[in-house]
Amino acid sequence: MRTAEPTRLFDLLERRKRQAPRRAVFGYKENGAWAHHYIDEYIEKSNLISYALMHLGVQRGENIALISTGRPEWNYIDMGVQQIGAVLVPIYPTISESEYLYILTDAEVRYIIVESESLLHKIETIRDHLPLLQEIYTIQPIKGKARLTKLYEMGSRDPQPERLQQIKDRITTDDVATMIYTSGTTGEPKGVMLSHKGILTNVLGIKDSPDKRWTRSLSWMPLCHIYERMMNYLYQYLCMETFYVESIAKVTENAQEVHPYMMAAVPRFIEKMYDKIYRRGEKMTGMRKRIFDWASELAFQYELNPAKRSSRYNMHRFVADKLVYRTIRKSLGKNFHMLVSGGASIQPRLTRFFSCVGLELYEGYGLTECSPLIAVTNTYAKEGRRVGSVGFVLPGIEVRFAPGTNEILCRGNNVMKGYYKQPALTAEAIDKEGWFHTGDTGYLDADGYMYLTGRTKSMFKTAMGKFINPEVIEEKMKESAFILDMMVIGEGEKFAAAIVAPDFDMLKDWCVRHRVYAQTREEMVADRVVLARYQKVIDKYNATLGATEQIKRFRLVTEEWTTANGCLTPTLKIRRKKIAALHSEEIAQLFA
């Protein structure tokens, strides 16, 4: 008999208990070895947290904050909070004290759970400014501090299974399950209220894309990122074991240890994966380098639709696989098949490259406010995936395009309940007919494939009256291994210019190979030979752009844009106002 689909996120627990009671749910490295955590432990500890919060008097709709990287306890806390109708507010572990203060104050949080001593220290520095805060619990043991185990103990002393079941029975699919604060590229973060139904619309909408035989997934992005969190629920729905990496620096090492079949990533991470492969090839010599370059060029010509690949191409790919591609695949373990990219557009050439190598690259589009997906590529479309497309609109979701601007409007169960305590902003984002205004522009082709063309808030008008979409230019030029990041500017000016953050690892290697005797970053960005090389890169991509879109001047900068210095959001998107302020002198010189 077919099992009913879950209607609330915590229904995934009993579903997993029925479907795969003996398969581990989570893998986590403890004391140098991978430990496996099973569904009985998951249910038990989630219930203990529910009992403890009930004992503390936490009410339905109350916000509980969690600041941690991905680990099994993250899930126990998540489900424990949800089961009593409270709302989990997961927060990035990488933001500043001032941002924590804003979010915790806005969310009116009484209880916070943090992972580590460094995160505890951040909260303790602002504790005097949080009058509602009653207790901070830590996941890792810290002398003299309340631990998560205290909640387990509290719950075990006062179990209330009947009352918990009564509370769960009253929770509906429309209730708020979580509140996620947006990363705030244009202002203060906003609390996005997402329902059980909204997130499950995504999970059930993509459940048929992964192969049902796959049993292991890898997770490295923060679970407070709704994209990674939704994928985390998908893995649980599909009865996979999810392995949480030790750190982003150990993704490859951990993958080689646990041999996952798939993982989610953001485009910046995938770009860095490719850059490492490219740099490895650049260091080769002789026949090895010629073979590597030939195989790379072959990969960039890859057609996703098998019907469009000739027998000659397939033969060449077979040879390239034996000589080059197989080695690249092994860097992520012996089973790896699927990379799922989200959070921003992926460069089409990378879709071709990784798919040809055998690391099938799928792409989705959405926003936090849409739980997060609106559209996604899938494995069962007649023609499969198309390069440059983010796929098809998910079942149960409507999309239309605003006349004149082509802004993408979305309506469906996936759309947020609203912004927390912000009715005016909610009304701006969701019109009276229920359409959420995404701020992105795009179109559907005749076959229903969605394509993105830019973001309305990023567009600017030059002094000549021409509109420029900077993101399209930036993504195109970032195809160059020399460019780590860039920001196109020129609002109210006669031409477009750019601030360019070089990939200094790549540039340093290039300088050595070309006998450019520049050692420091300052020397490299001022060197005439280096500047000439970057001009060549700019000229190459300018040739593909319209006259008004071309970059007439650029400036190389020594600072790397990171989340730590506030130039990138936690989802690794550039903060334009912050970068413009940081490089105000360079920008003034570009237009002098």
Burial 419-451 (b: 16+ CB within 10 A, else e): bbebeeebeebbeeeebbbbbbbbebeeeebbb
DSSP 574: B
501-509 long-range contacts, Cβ below 8 Å, gap at least 24?
Answer: 501/556, 501/557, 501/559, 501/560, 501/561, 502/534, 502/556, 503/275, 504/560, 505/275, 505/279, 506/275, 506/278, 506/279, 506/481, 506/482, 507/482, 509/279, 509/282, 509/283
11-195 and 460-590 have identical folds: no
Distances (CA, A) of 11 to 14, 23, 591: 6, 18, 58
CA atoms within 13 A on the CB side of 535: 9
CA atoms within 13 A on the CB side of 340: 29
Residue 89 and residue 192 in contact, taking contact as beta carbons nearer than 8 Å: no
Using DSSP, state whether 437 is helix, strand or coil. Answer: strand
Residue 256 and residue 332 in contact, taking contact as beta carbons nearer than 8 Å: yes
Neighbours of 163 (CB within 10 A): 13
Per the structure block, which two tokens stand in for 291?
């073979």
CA atoms within 13 A on the CB side of 194: 33
Could you give the CA distance from residue 430 to residue 424 in angstroms, rounded to a whole number? Answer: 10
Could you give the CA distance from residue 477 to residue 539 in angstroms, rounded to a whole number? Answer: 10
Could you give the CA distance from residue 350 to residue 354 in angstroms, rounded to a whole number? Answer: 6
Alpha helix locations (H) across 159-266? 161-170, 196-206, 226-237, 251-258
Could you give the CA distance from residue 425 to residue 418 in angstroms, rounded to a whole number? Answer: 8
Using DSSP, state whether 214 is helix, strand or coil. Answer: coil
Q: Which pLDDT value is given to residue 342?
A: 83
Distances (CA, A) of 213 to 26, 209, 210, 466, 541: 17, 12, 8, 52, 43
Question: Which of 85, 2, 11 is closest to 43 using CA atoms?
Answer: 11
Within the chain, how many helices (H) and strands (E) appear? 22, 25
Per the structure block, which two tokens stand in for 125?
């520095």
DSSP percent split of the chain into helix, strand, coil, nearest 5:
40, 20, 40
Question: Which of 519, 501, 510, 505 is closest to 556 using CA atoms?
Answer: 501
CA atoms within 13 A on the CB side of 193: 18
What homologous superfamily is domain 460-590 in, according to CATH? ANL, C-terminal domain (3.30.300.30)
Q: Which pLDDT value is given to residue 376?
A: 93
Q: What is the pLDDT along the chain (592 residues), one digit of tens a residue?
A: 456 899 999 999 999 999 999 999 999 999 999 999 999 999 999 999 999 999 999 999 999 999 999 999 999 999 999 999 999 999 999 888 999 999 999 999 999 999 999 999 999 999 999 999 999 999 999 999 999 999 999 999 999 999 999 999 999 999 999 999 986 555 678 999 999 999 999 999 999 989 999 999 999 999 999 999 999 999 999 999 999 999 989 999 999 999 999 999 988 889 889 988 998 998 899 999 999 999 999 999 999 989 899 999 999 999 999 999 999 999 899 999 999 998 777 888 999 999 999 999 999 999 999 999 999 987 666 567 888 899 999 999 999 999 988 999 999 999 999 999 999 999 999 999 999 999 999 999 999 999 998 888 788 888 888 888 898 899 899 989 899 999 999 999 999 999 999 999 999 999 999 999 998 999 999 999 999 999 999 999 999 998 889 999 999 999 999 888 889 887 788 889 899 999 999 999 999 8
Could you give the CA distance from residue 156 to residue 162 in angstroms, rounded to a whole number? Answer: 14
Q: Which pLDDT value is given to residue 537?
A: 96
Question: Which of 355, 236, 241, 357 is closest to 295 using CA atoms?
Answer: 357
* Concatenated DSSP letters of 305-352: SGGGS-HHHHHHHHHHIIIIIHHHHHTT-SS--EEEE-SSPPPHHHHH
Q: Which pLDDT value is given to residue 431?
A: 96
Tell me the CATH class for 11-195.
Answer: alpha beta
Show me where the domains of the chain are located. Answer: 11-195, 460-590
| Strand 87-91 with 216-219, pairing | unpaired
25-30 long-range contacts, Cβ below 8 Å, gap at least 24?
Answer: 25/72, 25/75, 25/236, 25/241, 25/242, 26/71, 26/72, 26/75, 26/241, 26/242, 26/243, 26/244, 27/216, 27/241, 27/242, 27/243, 27/244, 27/258, 28/71, 28/72, 28/243, 28/244, 29/246, 29/254
DSSP 492: T
Q: At what angle do helices 226-237 and 11-19 cross, to 10 degrees?
A: 40
Q: What is the residue whose two structure tokens read 């849409």?
A: 370
Neighbours of 136 (CB within 10 A): 20
Residue 363 and residue 373 in contact, taking contact as beta carbons nearer than 8 Å: no
